[in-house]
Amino acid sequence: MPTHFQGSPETKRALNAFINLARATNSLQARLSVQLEGQGLTVGQFGVLEALLHLGPMTQCVLGEKLLRSGGNITLVIDNLEKHGLVRRERQTEDRRTIVIHLTPKGMRLIKRVFPGHARMILKEMSQLKPKEQEDLRRLCRKLGTGGRASSEATKKEKKHDSNQTE
């Protein structure tokens, strides 16, 4: 549904693009979350398990930053994962204020079992776009996500990543 706002053409175009982006994101997320819920996971819990699988143990604060979650939300997610024996908290001896989150063997088994199916679903959903469209979408979303303020180092990494993808 397009905007009904009676503003300038530029504002209406921006609002319509935003509405379409938000609706597409919500719709895609809803379809993908069904599979996760069937495994007993929320999207947030899956995100934590996936980050720990692919990036290794990290502090709760870093996890929250990587997953764009508030401190309170990430605490709740980790509390629930810990109750189910999927992660464990480890207080660091050199700085007792620092607590690192680790996957447990049970958590490792679960995410290794669930992730491939989730990746297949994402592949299926994204295959509605041609490879070039997927790359364009990735670049545009990154630009929006950084507010257009990507540092020169991030821009260099992005260009290198882009050239590696097309080789």
**Does residue 2 lie within any of the structural domains?**
no
Is the residue at 32 inside a domain? yes
Is 46 a member of any domain?
Answer: yes
Residue 156 belongs to some domain of the structure: yes
Same domain, 121 and 153: no
Q: How many domains does the chain have?
A: 2
Q: Among 121, 123, 129, 111, which residue's Cα sits nearest to residue 34?
A: 121
pLDDT in tens, 22-77: 999 999 999 999 989 998 999 999 999 999 999 999 999 999 999 988 888 999 99
**Does 158 lie in the same domain as 143?**
yes
Q: Is residue 42 part of a domain?
A: yes
Same domain, 113 and 146: no
Q: Is 143 within the bounds of a domain?
A: yes
**Same domain, yes or no: 93 and 105:** yes
Whether residue 155 sits in one domain with residue 96: no
User: What percentage of the chain reaches a pLDDT higher than 90?
Assistant: 69
pLDDT in tens, 77-99: 999 999 999 999 999 888 888 89
The CATH number of the domain holding residue 30 is: 1.10.10.10
Range of the structural domain that residue 151 is part of: 129-167
HEC sequence for the chain: CCCCCCCCHHHHHHHHHHHHHHHHHHHHHHHHHHHHHHCCCCHHHHHHHHHHHHHCCEEHHHHHHHHCCCHHHHHHHHHHHHHCCCEEEEECCCCCCCEEEEECHHHHHHHHHHHHHHHHHHHHHHCCCCHHHHHHHHHHHHHHHCCCCCCHHHHHHHHHHHHHHHC
In a shared domain, residues 123 and 157: no
If asked whether residues 154 and 120 sit together in one domain, one would say no
Note whether 13 and 73 are same-domain residues. yes
Determine, yes or no, domain membership for 1: no
Q: Is residue 4 part of a domain?
A: no
Sheet holding 99-103, edge to edge: 58-59, 99-103, 87-91
Question: Same domain, yes or no, for 164 and 123?
Answer: no
| pLDDT confidence band for 152 (50 / 70 / 90) | very low
42 and 60 belong to one structural domain: yes
